[in-house]
Amino acid sequence: MKLIVAFSSALIVLIATIAIADEPVQFNIVNLRVEQTREVSNDVMVVVMQTTAQKNSSTEAARSVNEVMAWADKIISEDQRISHQTLNYQTRPVYQNKTITGWSASQQLQLRSQDIEALTTMAGSLQQKLQIVSMQFQVSPDRRAEELETLVVEALEAFHTKAELVTRTLNADDYRLVNLSIDESGGPMPYRAIARAEAMTVGAAPPSVEAGDSKIQVSVTGSIQLIF
């Protein structure tokens, strides 16, 4: 048995040695990284509003919230420029001295539009019965995709320029691309908040807003092998 184990161990070492020998050893490897960034004007506005009701029973509280949401839905549906959806419906007991004295219900409403002026006016109208929780801006998916396409081309060109610079500076004859990866900001575009969550008074004027810009970035990392 010991002889078999010893033979197996020797065979494994031999196979590993052959595998390593078959792999070409790469010399003159240089790792490079370039980034291209652009400030892009936000063209989508997202507003989250909320209604809250406190009543003696959960049924009464829910009914009050549903009435407000139905009222808001009717108004928003008349403007095709604005899309909306409901969020975060909650009911919870209200305690006093460890005893339930009532029920509170709340629900949020998210509005989204590329017509910032129209959405701002709509938010002002809905403040009759709802409160603004947050207001944010982002770049629309189509515009983001267009900007990313341009940035990828620019980043690849910058990578090629840097590779040529390294090649000339180190007196190499040429270079060979070993590997390359492209990172488009690492994920979806985050919203840019532009307002605090504040309760607004009934009949308040439309909020003052400024869309601002968002940063879109593409990074290219890779390795080249210098040829002498």
What is the pLDDT at residue 62? 95
Percentage of the residues of the chain whose pLDDT score is greater than 90? 72
Give residue 106's pLDDT band: very low, low, confident or very high (50, 70, 90): very high
Q: Is the pTM of this model over 0.75?
A: no
Asked if the model's pLDDT at residue 61 lies above 80, the reply is yes
Q: Is the predicted pLDDT of residue 219 greater than 50, yes or no?
A: yes
Domain boundaries, the chain: 44-139+190-212
Q: Is the pLDDT of residue 227 over 80?
A: yes
pLDDT in tens, 177-214: 999 999 987 444 444 444 444 444 444 556 666 778 88
Residue 198 is predicted with a pLDDT of 44
Q: Any idea of the CA torsion for 149, 152, 154, 159, to the nearest 10 degrees?
A: -170
Task: Enumerate long-range contacts of 203-209, CB under 8 Å, 24 or more apart.
Answer: 203/127, 203/128, 204/124, 204/127, 205/124, 206/120, 206/121, 206/123, 206/124, 206/125, 207/120, 207/123, 207/124, 207/132, 207/135, 209/45, 209/116, 209/120, 209/135
CATH topology classification for 44-139+190-212? Alpha-Beta Plaits (3.30.70)
- Once rounded to an integer, what is the mean pLDDT over residues 48-57? 96
